[in-house]
Amino acid sequence: MLQVNNLTFQYKKKPVLKNISFTVKPGEHYSIIGESGSGKSTLLKLIYGTYDLKEGHIFWKDQEILGPKHKLIIGPEYMKYVAQEFDLMPFITVAENIGAYLSNFYPEEKQARINELLDVVELQAYAHTKAKELSGGQKQRVAIAKAIAKQPEVLLLDEPFSHIDNFKKQSLRRSLFKYLKEKQITCIVATHDKDDVLSFSDHMMVLHDTKIIAENTPAELYKNPENKLIASFFDEFNIIENYGIVYANQLKIVENSNLKATVKQSYFKGNYYLIEADLDGNIVFFEHDSNLEEGLNMCLSVLK
- Footprint on this chain of ligand ADP (rule: CB under 6 A): 11-12, 16, 34, 36-42
Distance CA 302, CA 91 (A): 58
Strand partners, 260: 299
* Least Å from the CB of residue 40 to ligand ADP: 3
Of 6, 99, 3, 88, the C-alpha closest to 47 is 3
Q: How far apart are CA 229 and CA 239, in angstroms?
A: 12
Closer residue to Mg ion (CB): 40 or 141: 40
Instruction: Tell me which DSSP letter residue 87 carries.
Output: -
We find the least distance from the C-beta atom of residue 11 to ligand ADP, in angstroms, to be: 3
**Residue number with CB closer to ligand ADP (39 or 152):** 39
Element (H, E) at 170: helix 166-182
Binding partner of residue 11 among Mg ion, ligand ADP, none, CB under 5 to 8 Å per kind?
Answer: ligand ADP
Q: Which does residue 140 touch among Mg ion, ligand ADP, none (CB within 5 to 8 A, set by kind)?
A: none
Question: Distance between CA 262 and CA 244 in Å, rounded?
Answer: 20
Q: How far is the CB of 219 from ligand ADP (least distance, A)?
A: 24
Degrees, nearest 5: CA angle 107-110-111: 90
Cβ proximity of 86 and 139 under 8 Å: yes
- φ and ψ at residue 181, rounded to 5 degrees: -65, -45
Q: Angle at the Cα of 55 (from 50 to 61), degrees rounded to 5?
A: 65
- Residue closer to Mg ion by CB (options 32, 149) is 32
Read off the DSSP letter of residue 65.
P
Task: Indicate the residue among 50 and 129 with the shorter CB distance to ligand ADP.
Answer: 50
128, interface contact from ligand ADP, Mg ion, none, CB < 5-8 Å by kind: none
Segment (H or E) for 111: helix 107-120
Site for Mg ion, residues 1 to 60, rule: CB under 5 A: 40-41
Segment (H or E) for 268? strand 259-268
Residue 16 interface partner, choices Mg ion, ligand ADP, none, CB cut-off 5-8 Å depending on type: ligand ADP
Of 41 and 138, nearer to ligand ADP (C-beta) is 41
Which of 32, 248 has the CB closer to Mg ion? Answer: 32
Number of residues that bind Mg ion (CB under 5 A): 2
Cα–chain center distance at 155: 13
- Which residue has the CB atom at the shortest distance from Mg ion? 41
Residue 37 touches which of Mg ion, ligand ADP, none (CB < 5 to 8 A by kind)? ligand ADP
- What value, to the nearest 5°, has the Cα angle with vertex 202 and ends 211 and 227? 40
Give least dist CB 37 to Mg ion, A: 8
* Distance of closest approach, residue 230 Cβ to ligand ADP, in angstroms: 16
| Distance in Å, CB of 160 to Mg ion, minimum | 12
Which residues are near Mg ion by CB under 5 A? 40-41
